């Protein structure tokens, strides 16, 4: 469609330029012809001279036609050459310098489309480079997280095989360490598998209408019995009923990750605050906060990256995938998540769309 419009526009411009050039050259021809006729009429020149002069007038008219046509059409030709140079730059991989859009005709529209295509290609290449970088980092991190416990397990297994223990209690301690390392490997593989599923394009959601406060209350009832004695749980649940549309299994996984993270990494004696509210009659907000040492903005920005841990010593035994899983679950539900630190409290805030009337009717 654009190709046909472009050709039609170029044809129109070409015809207009020809008509204008021909008009000017014709006017010049008529003016000179009349002048020569007048000179011949008053017998200042002969008919033979008149014919000779008219040949030069005709040639002059042709030159004027070509000159005027080239001047008028030169701007269009220059713009086309500029577009050609821009396309060649893009073909060589330079997407930073775009084609300057001039006017509002089909050529300008074509330039805009070319620039849009260049911007999309640039973004695509940047995304591919970022994806490749993330894949490399993922392989390195997985290798590190697998190698560390495996090395430790092999060492203890070697000690057991060679009977390098002095008592049954020491043997039991070795077995317990191997078991704990095995559990960590199992957790890592489970988290990695879960994250891979969540970030794949074909992820399936079993969405249903869920009462947010009810789900959180039921989950907290389960946690309260096993909560450390020096950790206090404070709930600030909205008095309004909050209904969201979510895959309940994945939503519970999200809450478990956040609560476990708050218990594991919060200061002791500690407090975990869980708050729910509605904002702008469109969003359900879930905020989970715990007492914490100060966290820099740089660390907060990296928290949701795969395998990132504030405690680089990894002494807590986590996989470093918990918050990455949280972010993926929130994103596939069209929500947002961010981390902040204020007044001694580290907070994770989730914005989740409220269930629409259509969802409620279907339920």
pLDDT > 60? residue 313: no
How many domains does the chain divide into?
3
Same-domain check for residues 358 and 214: yes
Q: What percent of the chain shows pLDDT beyond 70?
A: 83
Same-domain check for residues 320 and 186: no
Same-domain check for residues 193 and 46: no
- The CATH number of the domain holding residue 162 is 1.10.287.130
Mean pLDDT throughout 319-346? Answer: 87
* Residue 118 maps to a domain: no
Assess contact for 226 and 259: CB atoms under 8 A. Answer: no
3-class secondary structure per residue, 60-86: HHHHHHHHHHHHHHHHHHHHHHHHHHH
- The CATH number of the domain holding residue 317 is 3.30.565.10
Please return the burial class of 257, using the count of CB atoms within 10 Å of its CB with bins 0-12, 13-18 and 19+.
buried
Token output for 294 = 């100060």
Same-domain check for residues 338 and 237: yes
Same-domain check for residues 88 and 163: no
Q: Which helix (H) or strand (E) holds 286?
A: strand 283-291
pLDDT at 280: 87
Read off the pLDDT of residues 28-63 as tens digits, 9 standing for 90 and up.
778 777 776 767 666 677 777 767 777 787 888 888
Residue the block writes with tokens 């970030």: 199
pLDDT at 2: 46
Long-range Cβ contacts of 251-254 (<8 Å, 24+ apart): 251/210, 251/215, 251/329, 251/333, 252/215, 252/219, 253/194, 253/325, 253/329, 254/325, 254/326, 254/329, 254/330, 254/350
Same-domain check for residues 243 and 334: yes
pLDDT at 98: 77
What is the Rg, in whole angstroms, of the alpha carbon atoms belonging to the chain?
38
Same-domain check for residues 76 and 168: no
Read off the pLDDT of residues 271-312 as tens digits, 9 standing for 90 and up.
899 999 999 888 999 999 998 888 888 888 878 877 776 665
pLDDT band of residue 9 (cuts 50, 70, 90) is: low
Same-domain check for residues 270 and 329: yes
Ramachandran angles phi, psi of 290, nearest 5°: -145, 155
The DSSP letter of residue 354 is B
Same-domain check for residues 216 and 192: no
Token output for 153 = 């397990």
From 94, 128, 157, give the residue that closes a domain.
Answer: 94
pLDDT at 315: 46
Same-domain check for residues 349 and 283: yes
Q: How many of the other CB atoms lie within 10 Å of CB of 135?
A: 10
* Residue 117 maps to a domain: no
From 199, 216, 248, give the residue that closes a domain.
Answer: 199
Same-domain check for residues 149 and 267: no
Q: Which residue range(s) make up the domain with 331?
A: 207-362
pLDDT at 21: 75
Show Cβ contacts of residue 88 under 8 Å, excluding neighbours closer than 6 positions: none
Token output for 194 = 């879960």
Read off the pLDDT of residues 242-273 as tens digits, 9 standing for 90 and up.
999 898 988 988 998 898 888 888 888 888 99
Same-domain check for residues 194 and 213: no
Q: What percent of the chain shows pLDDT beyond 90?
A: 12
From 199, 226, 245, give the residue that closes a domain.
Answer: 199
pLDDT at 338: 92
């Amino acid at each position: 469609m654009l190709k046909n419009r472009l050709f039609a526009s170029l044809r129109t411009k070409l015809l207009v330029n020809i008509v204008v050039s021909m008009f000017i050259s014709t006017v010049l021809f008529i003016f000179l012809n009349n002048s020569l006729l007048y000179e011949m009429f008053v017998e200042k020149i002969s008919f033979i001279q008149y014919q000779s002069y008219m040949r030069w007038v005709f040639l002059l008219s042709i030159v004027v036609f070509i000159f005027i046509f080239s001047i008028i059409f030169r701007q269009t030709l220059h713009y086309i050459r500029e577009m050609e140079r821009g396309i060649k730059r893009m073909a060589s991989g330079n997407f930073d310098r775009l084609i300057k859009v001039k006017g509002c005709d089909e050529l300008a529209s074509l330039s805009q489309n070319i620039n849009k295509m260049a911007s999309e290609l640039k973004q695509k290449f940047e995304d591919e480079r970022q994806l490749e970088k993330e894949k490399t980092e993922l392989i390195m991190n997985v290798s590190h997280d697998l190698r560390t416990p495996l090395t430790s397990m092999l060492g203890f297994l070697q000690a057991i095989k060679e009977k390098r223990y002095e008592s049954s209690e020491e043997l039991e301690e070795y077995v317990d360490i191997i078991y704990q390392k095995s559990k960590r490997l199992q957790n890592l593989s489970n988290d990695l598998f879960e994250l891979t599923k969540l970030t794949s394009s074909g992820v399936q959601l079993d969405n249903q209408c869920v009462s947010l406060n009810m789900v959180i209350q039921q989950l907290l009832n389960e946690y309260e019995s096993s909560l450390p004695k020096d950790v206090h749980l404070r709930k600030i649940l909205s008095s309004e009923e909050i209904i969201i549309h979510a895959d309940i299994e994945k939503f519970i996984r999200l809450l478990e990750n956040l609560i476990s993270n708050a218990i594991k990494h919060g200061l002791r004696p500690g407090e975990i605050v869980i708050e729910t509210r509605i904002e702008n009659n469109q969003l359900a907000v879930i905020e989970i906060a715990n007492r914490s040492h100060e966290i820099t903005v740089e660390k907060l920005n990296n928290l949701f990256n795969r395998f990132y841990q504030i405690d680089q010593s990894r002494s807590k035994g986590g996989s470093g995938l918990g918050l990455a899983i949280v972010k993926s679950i929130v994103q596939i539900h069209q929500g947002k998540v961010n981390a902040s630190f204020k007044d001694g409290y580290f907070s994770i805030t989730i914005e989740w769309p409220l269930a629409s009337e259509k969802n409620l009717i279907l339920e």
